[in-house]
Structure 1
Amino acid sequence: MDLLQLTSLLIVLAGLFGAVNYLFLKLPTAIGILVVSLLASMAILLLDLFVAGISIDDQVRSVVGTIAFSDALLEGMLGLLLFAGALHVKLSDLRAQWLVVALMATIGVALSTVIVGVGFSWLTGMPILVALVFGALISPTDPVAVLGVLREASLPKTLETKIAGESLFNDGVGYVVFLVLLGIAFPQGDAHGSGLVGAATLFFQEAVGGALLGLVLGWLTFRLMMRIDDYSLEVLLTLALAFGGYQLAVWLHVSAPIMAVCAGLLIGDVGAAKGMSEETRKYVDAFWKLIDEILNAVLFLLIGIEVFAITFDMTAFQTGLAAIVLALFARLAAVAVPVLLLRPFRAFSPGVIPMMTWGGLKGGISVALALSLPESEYKPLILTATYMVVIFSIIVQGLTVKGLANKVGREPDLV
């Protein structure tokens, strides 16, 4: 299949699965598409298992194999999704929560990476550096999944800002940590630097460079939009910023996810307030909401069919179950430690720790990072564990977090 045929197939399937969900399952759209996709994939696997001579499984695997999921997400869809998510987070709200967000996106990610890495190494006997790579790829919450759930939930504004802001930034930070650990654990593979000095340099280059690039490009786009009063052209400029800025960040070897978040925050706040007319704001908002919904649908479809790329056996299945528990415990620590550190200085809603723990969903980014690992004896187990954690997170946590959110929503809206 060529790119156009593959894209057409994915959009058709996303539309059909979305319709099935809307008519029968009535789940939140993205989660419903994932569930239908997963059920369809499992049905094909079972049919191939019990009916001899069909070989549908092999045909589907060959099609799935042509989908470079990791490249499609990390080098294509992710920039648009992060930009769209950041576009709707106000800087004024984020500024009030910046310390909480910063601690969770740094200390929280680091703590979770260590807990998962050490625990996974103990469970599997995997070398600690390789296990830490798994910890890095599974620790960040996925802003795509998290922001999708927030749209369905009723949360206090401050708590919503904490969750949204943290998910946007810890994704970028987690990706940088992943690159650093990957370079140390697999120095002969897709190396990105080794040694403490190299790791520190890479982290600074990726994180700070990505933020600066996003702010500079966002500011330049904002200044240009101030001189234009044409909503179609201004929508095109935001699209150019998201696409072009992301690719420029990749070329400059700085964090493209952090670039997309910073640029989106600036355009969505300062740009919307001072660089757009009311008509332009309406069209920009509608356009990026639509882009967000369509790409979300395709992404969750892809997650569902990636089951064909996973190798399941009893050992891997048991390890995956243990990884789910380990990831939840690490997430609890990543939330609780920053909150407890700040609690003497500020008040928090009583439900902030359970809500942010259970609402910290994993998603396609973790699967994409696992698929991008160099080939090794450890990759199949890491990929299976990652997939199981992500599926549990999106379906189980994603479908139950609204009930918890409604309970938290009745708590006082504290900082």
Structure 2
Amino acid sequence: MPPLQLASLLIVLAALFGTINYFVLRLPQAIGILLVALIVSLAAMALDALVPGLGIGTGLRDLVLGIDFSDALLEGMLGLLLFAGALHVKVEDLRAQALSVFVMATIGVALSVAVVGVGFSWLTGMPLLVALVFGAVVSPTDPVAVLGVLRAAKLSRSLETTIAGESLFNDGVAYVVFLILIGLAFPAAHATHGAAGDGNAVIAAAMLFLREAVGGALLGGVLGWLTFRVMRRIDDYALEVLITLALAFGGYELAVAAGVSAPIMAVGGGLMIGHVGMKYGMSDETRKYVDAFWKMIDEILNAVLFLLIGIEVFAVAFDLDGIETLVAAVALSLAARLVSVAVPVLLIGRRQGFERGTIPIMTWGGLKGGISVALALSLPDSDWKPLILTATYVIVVFSILVQGLSVGALARRFSREPKLV
């Protein structure tokens, strides 16, 4: 199917399923679209099994398998989603929570990858390096999904900033860790920019991490600052909106070409425009249009992304004989998230000061999303890929439908508690 027709179909389905959710389910929009898409997909598969002659399930499966989900997200949507999310984070608030955000997005991600990797290797017999790749796949959280749910709970500004910052940055960090580990686990399929095959793989991996993470942050900051310098000389809201779009698209592709982390670049650029650009480089009218434009981009892309997650069930090979492994994978993912939150909070709790309920809210609110599915789909073919893809999909759907629909109530419960200093 030509790209324009495919994009048109996805927009139509997202609008249709969103309308069904609005009138029938009344769930948060992204979660509702995912649930409707999942129900329709499962119904089509069941109908295909009952009446094979119709060929409905086969046709839909061919359509879904024809969509390169990994490229669509990692090379297109992710940069816009992260830029939009970072644009609305207040740098002043983020600076106050910088220590907790940094520790959770680095040490926390490393702990999550280790817990999932070691646990899943022990559980399934999977080689440790491959299991660590799985850990990197399911460690990033979905900033858009979790913030959309938590905003309704009216959290304190400090806790919301910690959650927002950690979610935005751990996506980029986990992606860099994924690139390093996949180069070590599958050296023949992924050279990983030279991390694999060098005499000292550990040093090479560390240098790659620094180049990707630090390089991505520096590139995002520089491009954001240059964009601000141009925008401050312009007073045309349409052109300025276009310039921010060019920064998100062009900066992402430049980061890919330069061999630095494109997701971290998108976050850095978004933070720069959201802080310096919004405050010093835009008129009130331009600020209003830029803000509204990126909120709409955020909502539309998020709707399409959750639709894609719902229909990607056709790409997953479920084996009911391994249901215990999938349940254990969900429990392991939650345990890893608990460790990745609790250890940093306990390490820096006296210096930073956290709201009561930070650990349970951030643990249960660590929703997984499209980036995990995209990373799983991008793995090279191997005997372990079907299991990794299935486990990832189950973890993502569980986190969005179960955790996403209940974390708001959990957050509201703790938001009424006094602060824990």
TM-score calculated relative to the size of structure 1: 0.98
Q: How many residues align?
A: 415
Q: Give the structure 2 partner of residue 245 of structure 1.
A: 251
Please say if residues 316 and 381 of structure 1, whose CA atoms lie closer than 8 Å, have aligned partners that are also in contact: no
Q: Give the structure 2 partner of residue 148 of structure 1.
A: 148
Q: Give the structure 2 partner of residue 104 of structure 1.
A: 104
Read off the aligned partner of 2:78 and give its amino acid letter: L
Greater shift after overlay, 272-281 or 139-148? 139-148
Query: What are the within-5 Å matches in structure 2 for residues 7-46 of structure 1?
Result: 7-46=7-46
Please say if residues 97 and 352 of structure 2, whose CA atoms lie closer than 8 Å, have aligned partners that are also in contact: no
Read off the aligned partner of 2:227 and give its amino acid letter: T
Please say if 1:234 is aligned against 2:235: no
Please say if residues 86 and 168 of structure 1, whose CA atoms lie closer than 8 Å, have aligned partners that are also in contact: yes
Please say if residues 41 and 305 of structure 1, whose CA atoms lie closer than 8 Å, have aligned partners that are also in contact: yes
Distance in 1 (CA, whole Å) between partners of 2:144 and 2:326 is 22
Q: Give the structure 1 partner of residue 367 of structure 2.
A: 361
Q: Give the structure 2 partner of residue 62 of structure 1.
A: 62
Read off the aligned partner of 1:157 and give its amino acid letter: R
Any idea what the Cα deviations from partners look like across 1:24-50, whole Å, max 9, x if unmatched?
A: 000000000000000000000111111
Match of 1:197 among 193, 196, 203: 203
Q: Give the structure 1 partner of residue 339 of structure 2.
A: 333
Please say if residues 361 and 394 of structure 1, whose CA atoms lie closer than 8 Å, have aligned partners that are also in contact: yes
Read off the aligned partner of 2:243 and give its amino acid letter: L
Please say if residues 182 and 190 of structure 2, whose CA atoms lie closer than 8 Å, have aligned partners that are also in contact: yes
Match of 2:265 among 238, 245, 259: 259
Read off the aligned partner of 1:326 and give its amino acid letter: L
Distance in 2 (CA, whole Å) between partners of 1:315 and 1:186 is 28
Distance in 2 (CA, whole Å) between partners of 1:337 and 1:241 is 36
Any idea what the Cα deviations from partners look like across 1:145-200, whole Å, max 9, x if unmatched?
A: 22322333321111000000000001100000000000000000122022112211
Provide the secondary structure at the position in 2 that maps to 1:53: helix
Provide the secondary structure at the position in 1 that maps to 2:54: coil
Q: Give the structure 2 partner of residue 283 of structure 1.
A: 289
Provide the secondary structure at the position in 2 that maps to 1:295: helix
Distance in 2 (CA, whole Å) between partners of 1:184 and 1:414 is 42
Match of 1:377 among 371, 374, 383: 383
Distance in 2 (CA, whole Å) between partners of 1:347 and 1:210 is 29
Distance in 2 (CA, whole Å) between partners of 1:20 and 1:237 is 35
Q: Give the structure 2 partner of residue 92 of structure 1.
A: 92
Any idea what the Cα deviations from partners look like across 1:207-258, whole Å, max 9, x if unmatched?
A: 0110010000000000001100111111000000000000111111100000
Read off the aligned partner of 2:24 and give its amino acid letter: F
CA separation of 1:413 and 1:242: change in aligned 2, threshold 3 A = farther
Question: 1:414 offset after TM fit, Å?
Answer: 6.2
RMSD: 1.0
Q: Give the structure 1 partner of residue 403 of structure 2.
A: 397
Structure 1: gaps of 5 or more residues: none
Read off the aligned partner of 2:316 and give its amino acid letter: I
Q: Give the structure 1 partner of residue 225 of structure 2.
A: 219
Distance in 2 (CA, whole Å) between partners of 1:165 and 1:394 is 19
Question: 1:52 offset after TM fit, Å?
Answer: 3.2
Provide the secondary structure at the position in 1 that maps to 2:225: helix
Question: 1:413 offset after TM fit, Å?
Answer: 5.3
Question: 1:346 offset after TM fit, Å?
Answer: 3.8
Please say if residues 157 and 413 of structure 1, whose CA atoms lie closer than 8 Å, have aligned partners that are also in contact: no
Question: 1:291 offset after TM fit, Å?
Answer: 0.4
Distance in 1 (CA, whole Å) between partners of 2:417 and 2:250 is 42
Q: Give the structure 2 partner of residue 174 of structure 1.
A: 174
CA separation of 1:347 and 1:151: change in aligned 2, threshold 3 A = closer
Distance in 2 (CA, whole Å) between partners of 1:346 and 1:365 is 30
Provide the secondary structure at the position in 2 that maps to 1:324: helix
Please say if residues 316 and 384 of structure 1, whose CA atoms lie closer than 8 Å, have aligned partners that are also in contact: no
Q: Give the structure 2 partner of residue 321 of structure 1.
A: 327
Read off the aligned partner of 2:284 and give its amino acid letter: E
CA separation of 1:211 and 1:266: change in aligned 2, threshold 3 A = same
Distance in 1 (CA, whole Å) between partners of 2:342 and 2:40 is 38
TM-score calculated relative to the size of structure 2: 0.97
Greater shift after overlay, 163-172 or 312-321? 312-321
Read off the aligned partner of 2:125 and give its amino acid letter: G
Identity level (%): 70
Greater shift after overlay, 293-302 or 134-143? 134-143
Provide the secondary structure at the position in 2 that maps to 1:239: helix
Greater shift after overlay, 339-348 or 352-361? 339-348
Please say if 1:274 is aligned against 2:280: yes
Distance in 2 (CA, whole Å) between partners of 1:300 and 1:369 is 15
Distance in 2 (CA, whole Å) between partners of 1:214 and 1:147 is 23
Any idea what the Cα deviations from partners look like across 1:278-336, whole Å, max 9, x if unmatched?
A: 11110000000000000000000000000000000124432221110000000000000
Please say if residues 317 and 384 of structure 1, whose CA atoms lie closer than 8 Å, have aligned partners that are also in contact: no
Distance in 2 (CA, whole Å) between partners of 1:345 and 1:289 is 34
Match of 1:409 among 407, 411, 415: 415
Match of 2:309 among 295, 300, 303: 303
Read off the aligned partner of 1:208 and give its amino acid letter: V
Structure 2: gaps of 5 or more residues: none
Question: 1:263 offset after TM fit, Å?
Answer: 0.4
Please say if residues 144 and 363 of structure 1, whose CA atoms lie closer than 8 Å, have aligned partners that are also in contact: no
